[in-house]
Amino acid sequence: MVEPVRTAVLALAVLVAGCGGSPQPPAATPANGETGGAGAAPVAGPPDAGTRAGHGNDLAAQFERAVRGKVDVPPRDETPPLAMLRLDPGSGEPVVHNSPVREQRRPELMLPRPEFDATALVRDGDGGTGRVRVSVVYVTRCDGVERQQADYFPPAQIENVRIAPGVRVPAQRSRSARVRFPAGCDVTGKAFAEATNAAGLESFSDPIWFRYRPRT
């Protein structure tokens, strides 16, 4: 009876050695039910990673991701805030631009009507925010008369923004405005966000150039 037992032990040892010495654990299963083994499809990121709005639309998703709560103004802050502007022409997808200002000017957005809605946003999660403004600079051409104009929401102010250290301020602020132009005029201009954090540092979103031509 000794020889059969010895043979069985040797066979078992060979089998264990051939399998790496220990059984393989089962593949992990993420919460969405996908198998987490090699070659598995990647799991989509959170909404602020740009997946909710689809590929190529990261800025729109970043704009929609609200940062709530307040932060303590630090004694020292050397980083400017994030500035973003969303322009909704009322037809088609809204356009979102962020800071900093790019060297190359982007194509003009053709407005379907002489108006649009704009929302400016300032975001600073470590230093706190101070002020945000929707700024629109444009030229109207009406009956051969050309005028340069500008609208600011809220109106431009002279005083600087600087909040004392230790004060709790919002990590994000926003300002919305509806901009209207004369219906019978040609209009060319740009809209951008002016953002100031609690330390008085400023950022400007890359401008959204627009153009309106009345129907003839």
* pLDDT tens figures, 15-24: 434 444 434 3
Residue 185 has a pLDDT of: 96
Flag whether 56 is in a domain.
no
Residue 111 has a pLDDT of: 97
| Predicted confidence band of residue 61 (pLDDT cuts 50, 70, 90) | very high
Which among 91, 68, 104 has a CA at the least distance from the CA of 207? 104
Pairing, β 109-110 against β 208-212: parallel
Flag whether 22 is in a domain.
no
CATH of the domain at 79: 2.70.50
What is the rounded end-to-end Cα distance, in angstroms, of the chain? 107
Q: Is the pLDDT of residue 43 over 90?
A: no
CB-CB contact of 84 with 208 (8 Å): no
Residue 41 has a pLDDT of: 29
Q: Is the pLDDT of residue 78 over 60?
A: yes
**Total-model pTM:** 0.72
Strand partners, 139: 148, 188
Flag whether 103 is in a domain.
yes
Flag whether 189 is in a domain.
yes
CB-CB contact of 174 with 213 (8 Å): no
Flag whether 3 is in a domain.
no
Number of structural domains in the chain: 1
Q: Is the pLDDT of residue 5 over 90?
A: no
Flag whether 57 is in a domain.
no
Residue 56 has a pLDDT of: 41
Distance CA 179, CA 186 (A): 15
Residue 159 has a pLDDT of: 74
Flag whether 11 is in a domain.
no
pLDDT tens, position by position, 140-174: 999 999 999 999 999 987 678 899 999 999 999 99
Q: How far apart, in Å, are the Cα atoms of 166 and each of 77, 107, 125, 157, 159? A: 12, 43, 14, 25, 21
Flag whether 28 is in a domain.
no
Residue corresponding to tokens 């300032």: 122
Residue 57 has a pLDDT of: 65
In this structure, of 25-29, 137-141, 165-169, 197-201, the range with the lowest mean pLDDT score is: 25-29
Which among 194, 16, 205 has a CA at the least distance from the CA of 102? 205
> 100 lies in which domain range?
68-212
Q: Which residues, at least 6 apart from 8, have a Cβ–Cβ distance to it below 8 Å?
A: none
Q: Is the pLDDT of residue 36 over 70?
A: no
Distance CA 177, CA 108 (A): 20
Q: Which helix (H) or strand (E) holds 118?
A: strand 115-123
